[in-house]
Amino acid sequence: MTVRPDTPDVTELARWMRGWVGEDGQIRGFHNHSVWGTNPYTFQDFTSGHQAFSAPAIAAFAEALAQHPDDRAAALWRRMMFYQARTVQADGQYEHIGFQVGESATSGLIHNMVGNIGLLEGLRAAGDHMSDDERSEILAAVRANLDACRVYGGGRPTADGTCNQEYARVWAKLRYAELSDDRAFDVEIEQDLDDLIRLCSVRGVPDGDCVGTYRVGADRATGGILEPAEYYGLMVVPLMIAADRYGRPDFADEARAMCLHIARSAWRDDRNLTRYHRYWYVAGDASHVSTTPMLIAGMGLTLRGLDEVLERIDDDDELRRFRADIMRTYAGYQTNGGFFASATGWHNEADVAPSTAWHAHDLMALVHGTTLPDDFWDRVFSHTDRRSVLLSDRAYWVEDTDRWAILSPWTAGDLSIYGRKDRDVFGREYFAWTDKEQLPEELRFPDVPVFFAADDGLYLIGPEQDLDVDVLGPLPYRGPIKRP
């Protein structure tokens, strides 16, 4: 991949994200879950429409708008806010909450709560770009969703709930309480956090300074995994907000210990870049770490939590060094197209196909921690005619302004997936000798590049064209194959 400085280009990431936002404010994308290795294609769902898990992008654009007011940006942000707030199922939960299983799932706490976080953090940063009535509409949508999600544990943490999801609900309650006159959650928020620490926190992994959290509190009795590293921001941010709101320094101490859990569980990959660990398995006194396969894009929520801690601690050199290492990792895996490599270790499409949702989390964190250039919005609203390829020996991603595809190098796999950034579904091209329905013409990718994986490298075998190629994996890109 291109050698870059020690920090990623946040503007180019935002430009890439803007290219996936539809006319109504929906955030489309290929929703790859590169922690679990699944996506709608693996579930034969073929959904590439909006997902509520992408809602942190709304908060990201709001913070950028607050830094640099711009009429184009305000219109974009407002569309995104209203789409998320108004796109609701009959049961009161948000629509499009299936993420890696697409529309095959219509219930789930985390994607509802991340939708609320995107709305509330967006309102907090850029609410002056809405009228009083519009702000009230957003808050009413959040309150209605919180009420609908009482189907999960009665609205409160339980031992059988998922830790990061329950903390996300508290984050939403905290910001809702801050931005509204509704005092319904004031008493239970502090109790919720005390209960979550009691149910889920485990000290001593990997050392006595660190606190991890069981993904499911009930697993403490039988053994189970701690939360994967990318979810810890969902725990840390509400703890830090509540530490200030309730005068509870013990909440801030817990949050910092969680950050140390992430920093001291990290590993170095074959590029000598710092990576989040996958998770720990803990049963009694036994603990075992799993580091890979693991995402790269998607580190943002935990980075946002880390920044919340560092904003209140001036002399935490260890966590500041860790943050700098993570920024170098982002920079090292950012492609010429602006997006990041999704993961390493899967050796399939989970490594190369960039999920807009995970990138939305990154964008929220990176905009929050970056002084944006004066030409930010001009670049974000610009277009490029370039085709961007993220190439590996078993799968590659290619995109232009309108289209995307996930393919395998010639004879090296069976990926043949095509989509458009302005469509809610994608498709698969089948062999001509099958009786399957052929790929819709509107999804075809004219002159899509075809690559060949040889022992000595990766070659373009046709059609020859000007491409921005980044490589993931050990094989170098050699360019067009030499012909007689």
Q: What is the mean pLDDT of residues 15-38?
A: 97
Q: Which domain holds residue 470?
A: 394-484
Whether residues 264 and 161 fall in one domain = yes
Whether residues 404 and 324 fall in one domain = no
Whether residues 374 and 413 fall in one domain = no
Confidence at 198, pLDDT banded by 50, 70, 90? very high
- pLDDT of residue 79 exceeding 90: yes
Whether residues 273 and 165 fall in one domain = yes
Whether residues 311 and 431 fall in one domain = no
**176 located within any domain:** yes
Q: What is the mean pLDDT of residues 196-214?
A: 98
- pLDDT of residue 230 exceeding 80: yes
Q: What is the mean pLDDT of residues 282-302?
A: 97
* Exposure on the CB side of residue 185, measured as CA atoms within 13 A: 26
Q: What is the mean pLDDT of residues 50-77?
A: 98
In order of 38, 53, 164, 257, 380, the CA distances from 161 in angstroms are 22, 19, 9, 22, 39
pLDDT at 3: 52
Whether residues 430 and 297 fall in one domain = no
- pLDDT of residue 467 exceeding 90: yes
Whether residues 372 and 460 fall in one domain = no
pLDDT at 484: 76
pLDDT tens by residue, 105-133: 999 999 999 999 999 999 999 999 999 99
* Exposure on the CB side of residue 198, measured as CA atoms within 13 A: 9
Please name which of 3, 147, 5, 135 lies closest in space to residue 82, comparing C-alpha atoms. Answer: 135
Whether residues 411 and 372 fall in one domain = no
**4 located within any domain:** no
pLDDT at 2: 54
Q: What is the mean pLDDT of residues 213-228?
A: 98
Whether residues 173 and 125 fall in one domain = yes
Q: What is the mean pLDDT of residues 321-343?
A: 98
Task: State yes or no: cis peptide before 249, omega within 30 of 0.
Answer: no
Mean of pLDDT over the chain:
96
**334 located within any domain:** yes
Whether residues 318 and 421 fall in one domain = no
- pLDDT of residue 392 exceeding 70: yes
- pLDDT of residue 176 exceeding 80: yes
- pLDDT of residue 432 exceeding 90: no
Q: What is the mean pLDDT of residues 368-378?
A: 97
pLDDT at 297: 98
Whether residues 376 and 400 fall in one domain = no
Q: Could you give the CA distance from residue 431 to residue 440 in angstroms, rounded to a whole number?
A: 14
**5 located within any domain:** no
pLDDT at 1: 55
**pTM, two decimal places:** 0.97
Say how many domains are in the chain. 2
pLDDT tens by residue, 81-95: 999 999 999 999 999
**144 located within any domain:** yes
Whether residues 96 and 213 fall in one domain = yes
**281 located within any domain:** yes
Strands (E), 79-203: 201-203
* CATH (domain of 37): 1.50.10.10
pLDDT at 259: 98
